[in-house]
Amino acid sequence: MPRSKIAGIGKYIPERTVTNQDLTQYMETSDEWIQERTGIKERHYAHRTDETTTTMGVEAAKIAIERAGTTAEEIDFIVFATLSPDYYFPGCGVMLQRALKMKEIGALDVRNQCSGFLYALSVADQFIKTGMYKNILVVGSEKHSFGLDFSTRGRNISVIFGDGAGAVVLQPTDEKDQGILSTHLHSDGESAEILAMYNPGTHANHWGTKDYADFDDAPIAQMFMSHAMIDNAQNFPYMDGQAVFKKAVVKFPEVIMEALQANGYQASDIHMLIPHQANLRISQFVQHKLKLSDEQVYNNIQHYGNTTAASVPIALCEAWEKGLISRGDLVCLAAFGSGFTWASALLKW
């Protein structure tokens, strides 16, 4: 059975840079406050109307396809990970297929938030291994800036997120010292509401009113976005930051060690760990826990913020472009996020 390898990789970062100081125009915060809690100095925002999750994904995909030595016409499957699609439906996968004028191939959308790219990579990996497809485009893209609460009320979340996209092309390889060794996926929905965006949705308990908690007794007007929902900020993401941090610093090391042990390696064997860029403090905790050096962990959240499904491919692409990853290096990718979901992938570059 062949392995799947990353044959090409690309990223797209919007031109507009938004510093911590810029955010002080809209909310009570400071550069020091943000950096102390997250490590973030700046992030990038897509153009309000001219750039979308799909268009950013397209730009990253073009680079990945070219570097893979193939063409858009030769791609035979798409897996697109995002929590911020252009439309509620259809998904971004078909929008990308249209934009790149691809054949009438399959397009799958993955909604696993921060773990989305690794879930998408795992799905693509299985298709390559079985021989069903030969050139799979895997994309992680996010446009968070259009849906954040830029007020003091929403600062705990809004200062964290940025926009961007990353993409890889997976192809089969028979080389023993190259390719994805294994992927590992997990979830636990017990505390799903700790990090969530409740609306738009169909969950009656989040309508923003106690008068019509039962769907059957609610008037038609209460079946849509209400003023109460807006007043209670239920149309914006919610996060219990401390609870997420406590869970992340446990599950991140666990899923990394799971990948290493499944393939007969230990932490010291890692050449480069690319963690999902959730919070620099989380990455530093994981690095300390696994006793990794600064040279073994790549972080770029300082300049891009948390780009959710796009963060792992953006960081992986940037590390490769800087020459920090070479053929044969042992690379570990890991993520933890809303759901909760967490995942890892171990590969030989």
List active site positions. 114, 276, 306
Give the residue among 264, 324, 323, 268 at the shortest CA–CA distance from 293: 268
Q: Which residues of 151-180 are buried (b: 16+ CB within 10 A; e: fewer)?
A: eeebbbbbbbbbbbbbbbbbbbbeeeebbb
Q: Which amino acid is at 140?
A: G
Is the distance from CB of 209 to CB of 228 less than 8 angstroms? yes
Q: Give whole-number Cα distances, 342 to 125, 189, 304, in Å.
A: 17, 11, 21
Q: Give whole-number Cα distances, 194 to 246, 260, 327, in Å.
A: 12, 29, 40
Rounded Cα gap, residues 86 and 54, in angstroms = 7
Angle between helices 53-67 and 92-99 (to 10 degrees): 60
Is the distance from CB of 343 to CB of 122 less than 8 angstroms? yes
Q: In the structure encoding, which two tokens stand for residue 291, read together? A: 């006793």
Could you tell me which residues come within 8 angstroms of residue 224 by beta carbon, excluding any fewer than 6 positions away? Answer: none
Q: Residue 113: which region, alpha, beta or left (left: phi > 0; alpha: psi -120 to 50)?
A: left
Is the distance from CB of 277 to CB of 335 less than 8 angstroms? no
Rounded Cα gap, residues 13 and 314, in angstroms = 9
